[in-house]
A and B are shown apart, each in its own frame.
Chain A
Amino acid sequence: GDSVTQMEGPVTLSEEAFLTINCTYTATGYPSLFWYVQYPGEGLQLLLKATKADDKGSNKGFEATYRKETTSFHLEKGSVQVSDSAVYFCAQTDQGGKLIFGQGTELSVKP
């Protein structure tokens, strides 16, 4: 069945370091792909999205490219800040439109 796998955390970085969180998916159709972020005690916020192969989603310095050939959607940011500390979820839509999430990757950024 459809699934999403993302790298395990926690990931600990120093401020201004480069961030990569790996995400791969398996899908029977042509899903849309998303990254959501969850801050402590809150719901999920949409960070970025891509709806078809080779699309690049970007927001707040974060980027991810929909790679159909490698079934990947890795999240990157060139210079992280303490305020980026949160849990990041990669997700895809299945053919019925429901979201299938990865297990989440906790990011901790130290000053």
Chain B
Amino acid sequence: KAGVTQTPRYLIKTRGQQVTLSCSPISGHRSVSWYQQTPGQGLQFLFEYFSETQRNKGNFPGRFSGRQFSNSRSEMNVSTLELGDSALYLCASKPPGTVNTEAFFGQGTRLTVV
């Protein structure tokens, strides 16, 4: 079974631009979550989608948004990029079951804002 796939792996953007990251979950997984990883703040939860609906949201500004499609693939968008948005963005999918079940992560997208 294929794992969680994130594209692209690396991105360089200029301050003020916007960016869209993509995530394909493991087949059969309907829950997709996004996390931001930085050296200073560690791993922080952005949001979770389940069956095309945002089920949970972290404490990030409205510049960070996401969506999920009917095939469970998800995209994350960041508008008006700031230097501080430079990070590794990780997507995770969960198998059907309780909310406390384990999450499986992709390789991440490394975003650099210059």
| A→B interface (CB under 8 Å) | 31-32, 34, 36, 42-46, 49, 51, 89, 93, 95-104
Q: Which of B56, B100, B102, B105 has the most CB of A within 10 A?
A: B100
Whole-angstrom distance between the alpha carbons of A29 and B90 in the complex?
26
B104 in the interface, Cβ–Cβ < 8 Å? yes
Q: Find out whether the CB atom of A43 lies under 8 angstroms from the CB atom of B43.
A: no
Q: Find out whether the CB atom of A51 lies under 8 angstroms from the CB atom of B58.
A: no
What is the total of A-B residue contacts with beta carbons within 8 Å?
59
| B→A interface (CB under 8 Å) | 4, 6, 31, 33, 35, 42-43, 45, 48, 55-56, 58, 90, 92, 94, 98-108
- Could you say which of B33, B42, B92, B102 contacts A32, with CB atoms under 8 Å apart? B102
Q: Find out whether the CB atom of A101 lies under 8 angstroms from the CB atom of B99.
A: no
| Contacting residues, chain B, for A99 (C-beta < 8 A) | 33, 35, 43, 45, 92, 103
Q: Find out whether the CB atom of B107 lies under 8 angstroms from the CB atom of A43.
A: yes
Q: Tell me whether A98 and B100 are in contact in the complex, defined as CB-CB below 8 angstroms, given that A42-B107, A43-B105 are known contacts.
A: no
Q: Find out whether the CB atom of B45 lies under 8 angstroms from the CB atom of A51.
A: no
Q: Find out whether the CB atom of B102 lies under 8 angstroms from the CB atom of A101.
A: no
Q: Tell me whether A101 and B43 are in contact in the complex, defined as CB-CB below 8 angstroms, given that A34-B102, A43-B105, A96-B99 are known contacts.
A: yes
Q: Tell me whether A103 and B42 are in contact in the complex, defined as CB-CB below 8 angstroms, given that A34-B102, A44-B90, A97-B99 are known contacts.
A: yes
Nearest 5 pairs of A and B residues by beta carbon:
A97-B99, A101-B43, A32-B100, A44-B105, A43-B105
| Contacting residues, chain A, for B103 (C-beta < 8 A) | 46, 99
Chain A nearest CB, measured from B14 CB (Å): 24
Nearest-CB residue, chain A, relative to B33:
A98
| Contacting residues, chain B, for A46 (C-beta < 8 A) | 102-105
Whole-angstrom distance between the alpha carbons of A97 and B101 in the complex?
8
Whole-angstrom distance between the alpha carbons of A102 and B33 in the complex?
18
Q: Tell me whether A97 and B102 are in contact in the complex, defined as CB-CB below 8 angstroms, given that A42-B107, A43-B90, A43-B108 are known contacts.
A: no
Q: Find out whether the CB atom of B102 lies under 8 angstroms from the CB atom of A98.
A: no
Can you spell out 14 A-B residue pairs with CB atoms less than 8 angstroms apart?
A31-B100, A32-B101, A34-B102, A42-B107, A42-B108, A46-B102, A46-B103, A46-B104, A97-B31, A97-B100, A98-B45, A98-B56, A99-B43, A99-B45
